[in-house]
Chains A and B, each alone.
Chain A
Amino acid sequence: MKSAMFLFAQLTTPSVLKRMRVTSRYWLVWPLQAFYAREVRRFSEQRGTEKRSLCGRNAFYQSMVIATLVNSVCLIVHGEEAKPITYDDHIAMIFKKHCLQCHGDSKQEAGLNFANYLAIRKGGSGGEVVVAGRSSSSRLFQAITAEDPDARMPPKNDPLAKDQIALIKSWIDTGLRQSSGSSPVAMRTLGFTPTAVVKSDGPPPMPENLPLIESARLIRPFPVLALAASPRTSLVVVASYERIDFVDPQSRSVIGSVPFPEGEPHVLRFNRSGSVLLAAGGRPVHNGVAVLYDVRSGKRLAEIGNETDIVLAADLSADEKQIAMGGSSRVVKVYSTENGVLVRSLVKHTEWITAIAYSPDGKLLATGDRVGNIHLWDAVSGGVVLPLAEHKASVTSLTWRSDSQVLVSSGEDGLIAWWDIAKGWPAFLKADAHPPQRPAGFFGKIANGVLDASFGPGGELITCGRDRSIRVWASDGNLLKTFGPESNDVSNSSMNGIRILPLTAVLTFDGSLAVSGDSAGQLKTWLMNVDQK
């Protein structure tokens, strides 16, 4: 179907269209547009927030091509008469009615003038108030939607009507058009070429002659809290209780284990060459530590940190000289791997640190916390680079694309954000990325958190969530595959009354296999090249 649409799009290039009369063009376009609208609506329902209204007679060609090829742009479709939201047609009158008394030509409180399109783009004394494509980051939008009546605009008044707020939101999100003739303000899309992994000498490191360790104390398998795939070979490491298993993902058989007597490994990370494994964890409210293992021999290379609570998040820097870790202390601690000394503490988070990731190029450090804040730091100097604010609940994971251009964050709020690091904005946002099925007659909020996210070799992203499914997303944020769940019905699970959730998900080094570990301690794998519904 897509190829047919593409063909159609070719036929309806502007030059072709230009030669037609408006009416006939409309006739030609209508059925396709209706079909397209349906597709897009379906798509935007999956995609959630990111809605960009480009649909319209003028923008139609453009939108169709972009959407067909890139397939990343969602539209708001206003029936057949879809028109882009523009300043002249829609927004100016709202501003005139509610804002110009104080922010107009005669009076510019806070240096803001809403009577003039360019002046709005310019912003006021406090900087920009609108950011193309990002309503949630736009001060204007924040001001009109503030919950606190004292912080809300217009002041001392009811908030703007919902439809007006919606109009302003989609105006910002669709690129701040001035008039129906103008094009949207540039919003970046991110192409991706995978960078080759570091090729070190010799064959990919594999564990050699590691023993199998049986943990006698377990009455049932420990939840797979951490999982990592070797970047160079078909090998995954699986966290268990007081031990870490090296597993062949093809056969799901354990090749060998290393002990982790410190408690529960909460984080597992390979270094870029796949020769060193970082395991961090501990026991809740008891101790926390990060350990480096040699993958081949299973030997402990270093034990870093001595925390009073379990380490919830940690990563090894690209040059392997530093380990950053965090947990309930709310401080990100950076240790030297050479001498185990605390290099610096990064104090900015106000809640538990739940995710830490160094960029592969070694320049940046991303940290996320339990209320949804993400901070970017300079990995070398420890200086603050950017806050990344989009999550409304705990950040569950942070993962970098191998070219260090894109950071993905996932959260308990159901959101996956692909962050364009150069700009500090999300390139794509996927709200409700793992929507659980709502049982009939069930009211209220259903936990829809995304529990883990990690990049595969080709820039594809694998995530798992509280809907119990595993999802794979293309490098442009488009959903590629969904695995599981076998059934959404809790009572049918093999453990009566116990819901099994996939906690971790990775793609193997070649992207051929999706691996996920669940709360029942099981490992599941899916072949990526087999089509799944």
Chain B
Amino acid sequence: MASEISEPVIIGYVDSKTRKTGSKRIMPIKSVLLVLCQTAELGSCATASESSETQCLLFFRGNRRALHDRRRSYSGTLIPKLDNALVAFALFATLFFPFTVRGSEPSFRRDVMPIFFRAGCNSGTCHGSARGKDGFMLSLFGYDPKGDYERVVNEMIGRRVNIAVPEQSLLLLKATGAVPHTGGKLFSPDSDYYKTVLEWIEAGAPDDIGQVPSTVEVVLSKKGLMFEKPESSETLTVTAKASDSSTRDVTRLARFFSNNDSVARIDSDGRVTAVGPGDTNVFARFSRFTVGVEVIVLPPAAGFQWPDPVAVNFIDELVFDRLKKLRVAPSDLCDDETFLRRVTLDLVAQPPTLAEYREFIADTRSDKRAIKIDQLLDNDAFADVWTALWAEQLRVIGGNYAPVATDVKAADAFFQWIRTQMRTHRPLNEFIAEMVDASGSNLSNGPVNLYTMLVHKPQFEPKAFAADFSQAFLGVQIQCAECHNHPFDRWTQDDYYGFVSFFTGMKRKPGIEPRERRIYCDTSAPPAKHLVDGRPMPAKTLGSVEPIPAGGDPRKALAQWLTAPENEMFSRNLANRIWAQLLGRGIIEPVDDVRASNPPVNGPLLDALSKRLVEVKFDLRSVVRDICNSRVYQLSARPNASNVRDTRQFSHAHLRRLRADVLLDSIVAVTGVSRRFSGFPEGTRAIEYYPRESGDTEGPHFGDPFFSTFGRSSRATVCACETKREPTLSQTLHMVVGDSVRDRLSANGEIKRLVESKSGPDDVVEELFVRALGRQPTSDEAVAMRTLIGDAVKDVAVYEDILWSLLNSTEFAFNH
């Protein structure tokens, strides 16, 4: 056969592992294997043996068109298997023909799909929407390459892709605006995008399933950008690393966005332009990765002087580092009165009493603030505050509809269990781990109610639970990945369904008494199925590659992984939530939306807090102590010229409206008249209250109407946004004329006693100020009050009016 060959034709053979395409398509052939063809009479065309890892490329010497024409004219002829003689000949021939041939054709997954992404074809408003557009659907941002290939190539054969006349493919005509297209013109026929798609279609629009190394990492060319003045700019390049450890520049294929266009813009070429002073992040997205880089645009250096405040601990160092870099000066330290009120409200959820106030002010020790913090941390009320926060987060609601397993008795078991853990200084990781792998009766085993309360449904719903679970304990929202890969983070559908599989075995069965449900894990339950292809997804922790070992209750492995010191997602989430509780704003905000495109405003600070939390073995009080002792926590809320615009870098204290329950407890504390909650004993404080309902527990439940007015979490979802801090008109009206304040002013005769016990009106006014606002009246205020009282120095009603005014002041409603 070899002897008949009149004109050798080289056919490139390239190992797919060493293949290099993309922007550079011309490459020396690695090893020429195949050969030939007898040109005069066809029939003896040869082809390479095809193994799954290799790709065989046929090339005639000359151009590709010739090959196609020839192939067409001889179509139907079977290409015989290559025999050894031909292989030998081919290898021999290579020695004499130092060919360079074009590399392989563009690959659908590697080259074409990123163009769909870059051009916006598969975005949510276009063909990426759940039902596509005008009958043509692509998976959102390309989560389903196999399906996309089918829809592009095989759904309407000859239309979208025309392999006989490639430039007539509708895909190209539409994208270049050559024919009417709702999405408009996306790229020009001169562009590299056009060329790539055209070449792919010219190659016959081949599928490349299993041949393309997946992208495993995307890297930006810069770690951070700092601009001295607006309008200066710099360009980022994006590099993708593939699973075969090859890299390529994908700047032309990535999409870019900025978190704050008033600080820095980024255009489609990756060029970052400074706009105004501040800090933000710009991002590039490619494949399933979003990577960001911090951009700082500095205010003018002129007129800025770093005050060089003393750093008390690591928190101050890191915050001040950051502020110095940003040319923002922190505010001054707050005064003792402000500190006392702030720390007391934060740690024990009520204003300082008169005695506490007097004692603290009289104290002359230099470390009296630290001593005060320690005192408050030892108070049971501190544990109660955190019990309330956890109960809210874990959606503790008691009902009396037995089938949903959330009876008041179960809720109480859960609440009391949480309180015990908080009061006994249980490390937070153990506290959570115990809930995660709890089984048993919802009435007698408190922690098992994680599985009845976190998602209030008649049946246990693994998907909803997994999403809420990760939001609560990791601050990560994975529910996007139920239908498509997370568009702004790294979570894929594989991650999501693997995580859901931890809970697919969770079952409830009736217990001994009607209210009782026994929660257990059915280890024989099948894992969750992948949405795209129904493939079973065994339980897999978030971000890992391999599923956990099969067999037994998967929650054991989950609890272990979740609460391990190495799991930074976990410790960072806890640290961030603790910080947000004390400073009024998370380092990542919102605290339960941790994602690549929502980075911490001060990464080192969050790292350090998280590390500290691990160091102290997840002891809540230690971290709270560190934070409260820091100068950052004790800064005044009064801004200075340089930090007046700062809302995110903790350069001054945030004004925070009191939580609904803290506000109610404060009113009670100031007026001395307690508040009854239905279903709870007399003397129960608002922070000890959780909704007890007559009925099932789905949907929003505020319990007491005061809480719905003042925006306590309705516990309808696990979202941190359930706790509302916005002021509303009804709140104001309630404070002005509602029964919470009005009825308390005169009840109990508290003010009457006060007036009688004090020698003069100034003393009464002072005590009312200290009680309500934790401070002395200013001299202006004192004069105003004296004028108001006039001669009626013993008229209780006047003092009631004064207290009413104080309780209706913004200062009372805020922690400052």
A interface residue numbers (CB < 8 A to B): 217-223, 225, 241, 264, 283-286, 310, 351-352, 370, 442-445, 447, 466, 490-491, 494-499, 501, 503, 519-522
Contacts and interface: CB of A to CB of B under 8 A. Distances in A.
A30 B384 CA distance: 75
Given A220-B164, A447-B154, A284 B173 contact: yes
A266 B165 CA distance: 15
Interface stretch (B5-13, B204-212, B720-728): B204-212
24 contacts: A218-B164, A219-B64, A219-B68, A219-B165, A219-B166, A220-B72, A220-B204, A221-B164, A222-B158, A223-B157, A223-B163, A241-B165, A264-B158, A285-B180, A352-B135, A442-B533, A443-B533, A443-B536, A444-B530, A444-B533, A447-B154, A497-B207, A498-B163, A519-B158
Given A443-B529, A498-B205, A503-B157, 14 more contacts: A219-B166, A220-B164, A220-B204, A222-B162, A264-B158, A284-B159, A444-B530, A490-B207, A494-B79, A496-B56, A497-B206, A519-B158, A520-B75, A521-B164
A447 B205 CA distance: 18
Contacts of A351: 135
Interface in B739-757: none
Nearest to B180: A285
B160 to A, nearest CB: 8
Given A220-B72, A223-B158, A284 B170 contact: yes
Interface string B397-439: 0000000000000000000000000000000000000000000
Interface in B20-64: 50, 52, 55-56, 64
Contacts, number: 104
Contacts of A221: 72, 75, 164
Given A219-B202, A443-B534, A491-B52, A498 B207 contact: yes
Contacts of B71: 220
B174 interface: yes
B532 A286 contact: no
B76 interface: yes
A337 B181 CA distance: 32
A434 to B, nearest CB: 14
Contacts of B75: 221, 520-522
B358 interface: no
A370, A445, A498 — most chain B CB neighbours (10 Å): A498
Contacts of B530: 443-444
Interface in B61-93: 64-65, 68-69, 71-72, 75-76, 78-79
Nearest to B529: A443
Contacts of A286: 173, 179
B154 A444 contact: no
A491 B53 CA distance: 11
B535 interface: yes
Interface string B139-152: 00000000000100
A491 B50 contact: yes
Contacts of A491: 50, 52
B709 interface: no
B708 interface: no
B136 to A, nearest CB: 11
B206 A498 contact: yes
A249 to B, nearest CB: 15
Interface string B469-488: 00000000000000000000
Q: What 6 A-B pairs are tightest by C-beta distance, nearest first?
A: A444-B533, A497-B206, A222-B164, A285-B179, A443-B535, A443-B533
Contact of B173 (A285, A497, A498, A503): A285
A498 B208 CA distance: 9
Contact of A496 (B55, B68, B78, B170): B55
B168 interface: yes
B135 A222 contact: no
Nearest to A281: B158
Contacts of A497: 204, 206-208, 211
Contacts of B163: 219-220, 223, 498
Contacts of B52: 491
Given A286-B179, A351-B135, A521-B164, A444 B532 contact: yes
Contacts of A443: 529-530, 533-536
Given A225-B157, A495-B206, A501-B154, A444 B165 contact: no
A285 B174 contact: yes
A498 B150 CA distance: 11
Contacts of B534: 443-445
A445 B532 CA distance: 9
A218 B159 contact: no
Contacts of A352: 135
Contact of A501 (B157, B164, B170, B174): B157
A331 to B, nearest CB: 16
A284 B179 contact: yes
Given A222-B164, A443-B534, A495 B135 contact: no
Contacts of B55: 496
Interface string B206-225: 11100100000000000000
B37 to A, nearest CB: 15
Interface in B502-561: 529-530, 532-536
A217 B165 CA distance: 7
B121 to A, nearest CB: 16
A286 B178 CA distance: 9
Nearest to B209: A497
B157 A283 contact: no
B72 A218 contact: yes
A371 B76 CA distance: 36
Nearest to B68: A219
A494 B179 CA distance: 33
Contacts of B159: 284, 310
B165 A222 contact: yes
Contacts of B56: 496
Nearest to B57: A496
A8 to B, nearest CB: 43
B59 to A, nearest CB: 13
B788 to A, nearest CB: 61
Nearest to B204: A498
Contacts of B208: 497
B533 to A, nearest CB: 3
A225 B179 contact: no
A158 to B, nearest CB: 11
A323 B131 CA distance: 33
B633 to A, nearest CB: 51
Contacts of B535: 443-444
Contacts of B205: 498
A219 B164 contact: yes
B107 to A, nearest CB: 9
Nearest to A494: B79
Contacts of A490: 207
A165 B503 CA distance: 30
Contacts of A501: 154, 157
B103 to A, nearest CB: 15
A284 B162 CA distance: 11
A498 B157 CA distance: 12
Contacts of B157: 223, 225, 501, 503, 519
B500 to A, nearest CB: 16
Nearest to B79: A494
A284 B208 CA distance: 27
Nearest to B163: A220
Nearest to A441: B535
Given A284-B170, A494-B79, A522-B75, A223 B164 contact: yes
Contacts of B181: 285
Contacts of A466: 154
Contacts of B50: 491, 496
Given A220-B68, A220-B72, A285-B179, A499 B154 contact: yes
A444 to B, nearest CB: 3
Contacts of A283: 168
B207 A499 contact: yes
